[in-house]
Amino acid sequence: YDLRGNRSSSVFNYKKKELIKQTIEWLGNTPLPIFVKDNPNAFCVVNESINGEYTVATVVSMCADTFDSYTLEVSPELAEAKIEVLGNSGLWEKREVIRDGRKIKFRDELHYLSPVVLKFSK
């Protein structure tokens, strides 16, 4: 993609986000467990259970625009994991996703400051 001529702060933030990801992975010599792709100002916090059986990620958008979908890039260990979303009732709900290698696309909307909690089970 060509960012020349585009002065949007969202583009610059997205570009920085990608550069920081690449730098962290290079320094750590390992991929990040989960990373929000293609959505500017959308981030996640990741926690792994003590026994390593599951990983919980909280995805949050700090963009005023609602996204129709979002894509996560996951580590190889999570690429085939079972994925559930924490529903409004407090129960885990199965979620249909589109998988493409380490990329997982969710067809759910992502709203401003409305976190989505995901559970990846091995």
4 within a domain of the structure (yes/no): no
- Specify the pLDDT at position 33: 95
- Specify the pLDDT at position 38: 85
Residue 83 token pair: 């994925």
Phi, psi of 3, deg, nearest 5: -95, 0
CATH number of the domain within which 116 lies: 2.60.40
Q: With 60 as the cut, is the pLDDT of residue 79 above it?
A: yes
Tell me which residue range forms the domain holding 99.
Answer: 9-121
Q: Where are the beta strands (DSSP E) in the chain?
A: 34-37, 42-48, 54-61, 70-74, 82-86, 92-94, 97-100, 103-106, 116-121
| CA pair distance 22, 18, nearest whole angstrom | 6
- Specify the pLDDT at position 15: 73
81 within a domain of the structure (yes/no): yes
1 within a domain of the structure (yes/no): no
Going by pLDDT thresholds of 50, 70 and 90, the confidence category of residue 89 is very high
Phi, psi of 29, deg, nearest 5: 55, 35
pLDDT single digits (tens) 20-73: 889 989 999 999 999 999 887 899 999 999 999 999 999 999 989 999 999 999
Q: How many separate domains does the chain show?
A: 1
